[in-house]
A and B are shown apart, each in its own frame.
Chain A
Amino acid sequence: MQLVLVREFLAQFQGNEFTISLIFFSWLILGGLGAWLALLAIRRRPASPVLLARLSLLLAALAAIEVLAIRTLRDIIFLHGADVGFYPTMAAIFLLAAPYGLLNGFLVPYSLYVLRSQEPDYAGARIYLLDNTGNIIGGALFSFVLVLWLTPLQSVFAANLPLLAAATLLVSCRQQLRPVFLLSLAGAVITLLAGLLLERQSLTPFEGRLIHYEESRYGRITVHQDRELLTIFVDGAPIFSNQNVSLDEETIHFPLSQIDDPRDVLLVGVEGGMLREVAKYRPDRVDLLEIDRKLTEVQLRYQLLQPLPGLNLIHRDGRAFLAATDRRYDAIIINLPEPETFQINRFFTGEFFRLAGRHLRPGGILAFSVAGFDNYLSDPARLKISSLYNTARLHFPHVLSLPGNRVFFLCRDRPLNPDIAALLNSKKIHTIYISSFFSGNITPERLSYLQENLLPDTPVNLDTSPFLLRIMFQQWFARFATSPLPFTVAGCLLLLFYLCRCRREELVLFSTGFAIMGSETLVIFVYQILFGYVYEQIGLLVTVFLAGLLPGAWLGERLRQGRNCRKSLVLCDGLIILALITFLLALLTAHQQLTPGFFLLFGFALSLLCGCQFPLALALGGGDNPAAARTFSADLIGAACGTLITSLLFIPFLGIVWATAGLLLVKLCGIAALAGGAGKVKSKK
Chain B
Amino acid sequence: MKPIDRRTFLCLSAALLARAGAAQAGLWPFQGDRHEASGQEDIRGAIFKNDAPKTLWKWHKEGFSYQKLADSKVMCNICPNRCLLAPGDRSLCRSKVNMDGTLYSLAYGNPCAVHLDPVEKKPLFHFKPRTTAFSIAATGCNFRCLNCQNWEISQVKPHEVRHQEMFPAEVVRQAKAAEAASIAYTYSEATTYFEYMLDTARLARDAGLNNLWISNGFINKEPLLELCKVINAANVNLKSFDDAIYRKLNGGRLQPVLNTFRTMHEQGVHFEMTTLVVPGYVDNPEMIKAMCGWIVANLGPDHPLHFLRFFPNYKLTRLPPTPASTLDSFRKLAMAEGIRYVYLGNLPDHPGSNTYCHQCGKLLIERRGYQMPVNHLEAGRCSFCGTTIPGVWH
Contact = CB atoms under 8 A, between A and B. Distances in A.
Interface of A: 72-73, 75-83, 178-180, 182-183, 186-187, 190-191, 193-194, 197-198, 201-202, 204-208, 224, 226-229, 231, 233, 236-238, 241, 243-246, 373-376, 378-379, 381, 405, 432-433, 435-441, 443, 445-446, 449, 478-481
Interface in B99-126: 112-113, 115-118, 120-121
A373 to B, nearest CB: 7
Interface stretch (B29-37, B231-239, B286-294, B381-389): B29-37
Contacts of B374: none
B348 to A, nearest CB: 4
Contact of A437 (B23, B115, B281, B370): B370
Contact of A226 (B155, B317, B326): B326
Interface in B22-69: 23-24, 26, 28, 30-35, 37-40
27 contacts: A75-B39, A76-B38, A79-B40, A79-B249, A183-B12, A197-B23, A198-B20, A201-B28, A202-B31, A207-B34, A207-B320, A226-B279, A227-B323, A227-B325, A229-B321, A238-B318, A238-B321, A243-B323, A243-B324, A373-B152, A375-B135, A376-B137, A433-B348, A436-B369, A437-B348, A441-B121, A446-B115
B30 A72 contact: yes
A179 B348 contact: no
Contact of B31 (A204, A381, A436): A204
Given A82-B39, A183-B12, A206-B38, A201 B31 contact: yes
A317 to B, nearest CB: 25
B379 interface: no
Interface in B313-330: 314-326
Contact of B35 (A206, A224, A381, A432): A206
Contacts of A197: 20-21, 23-24
B286 to A, nearest CB: 15
CB-based closest 7 A-B pairs: A436-B369, A79-B39, A207-B280, A194-B20, A229-B323, A81-B319, A231-B320
Nearest to B121: A440
B13 A206 contact: no
A479 B279 contact: no
A201 B27 CA distance: 9
B187 A182 contact: no
B218 interface: no
A440 B117 contact: yes
Given A201-B23, A436-B349, A440-B118, A376 B161 contact: yes
Contacts of B153: 375-376, 378
Given A183-B9, A187-B16, A238-B318, A227 B326 contact: yes
B226 interface: no
B112 A376 contact: yes
Contact of B120 (A82, A246, A438, A440): A440
Nearest to A69: B30
A265 to B, nearest CB: 24
A51 to B, nearest CB: 12
Interface string B228-255: 0000000000000000000011000000
B320 A224 contact: yes
Contacts of A194: 16-17, 19-20, 23
Contacts of A433: 348-349, 369
A479 B321 CA distance: 21
Nearest to A436: B369
A456 B84 CA distance: 45
A292 B26 CA distance: 32
Given A183-B9, A198-B23, A376-B152, A81 B318 contact: yes
Contacts of A432: 348-349
B70 interface: no
Given A201-B26, A205-B280, A229-B323, 6 more contacts: A190-B13, A194-B20, A198-B28, A243-B323, A244-B321, A440-B369
Contacts of B23: 194, 197-198, 201
Interface in B149-174: 149-153, 155, 161-162
Contacts of A201: 23-24, 26, 28, 31
B38 A75 contact: yes
B325 A228 contact: yes
**Chain B CB within 10 A, most for which of A186, A204, A374, A432:** A374
B215 to A, nearest CB: 15
B370 A178 contact: no
**Chain A CB within 10 A, most for which of B26, B31, B325:** B31
Given A202-B28, A207-B279, A375-B187, A179 B6 contact: yes
Nearest to B33: A206
A244 B312 CA distance: 12
A186 B152 contact: no
**Chain B CB within 10 A, most for which of A191, A202, A227:** A227
B320 A226 contact: yes
Interface of chain B, main secondary structure: loop
B71 interface: no
A480 B46 CA distance: 15
Nearest to A437: B369
A178 B152 CA distance: 64
Contacts of A224: 320
Contact of B39 (A78, A183, A193, A445): A78
A190 B161 contact: no
A80 B35 CA distance: 7
Nearest to A199: B24
Contact of A436 (B116, B314, B321, B368): B368
A381 B152 contact: yes
A207 B321 CA distance: 11
A439 B370 contact: yes
A461 B232 CA distance: 48
A440 B368 CA distance: 11
B177 interface: no
B326 A241 contact: no
B316 A207 contact: no
A520 to B, nearest CB: 30
Contacts of B280: 80-81, 205-207
Nearest to A478: B152
B266 interface: no
B146 interface: yes
Nearest to A382: B162
**Chain B CB within 10 A, most for which of A187, A191, A231, A437:** A437
Given A180-B4, A190-B13, A437-B369, A82 B187 contact: no
A375 B115 contact: yes
A479 B151 contact: yes
A439 B9 CA distance: 74
Contacts of B38: 75-76, 78-80, 206
A449 B283 contact: no
Nearest to A229: B323
A591 B303 CA distance: 66
A374 B150 contact: yes
Contacts of A76: 30, 37-39
B370 A440 contact: yes
B348 A436 contact: yes
Nearest to B22: A197
Contacts of A180: 1, 3-4
A677 to B, nearest CB: 48
Nearest to A381: B152
Contacts of B318: 80-83, 233, 236-238
B359 interface: no
**Chain A CB within 10 A, most for which of B321, B322, B369:** B369
B371 interface: yes
Interface in B290-310: none
B5 interface: yes
Contacts of B314: 479
A83 B368 contact: no
B187 A376 contact: yes
B115 A449 contact: yes
A449 B112 CA distance: 12
A194 B34 CA distance: 24
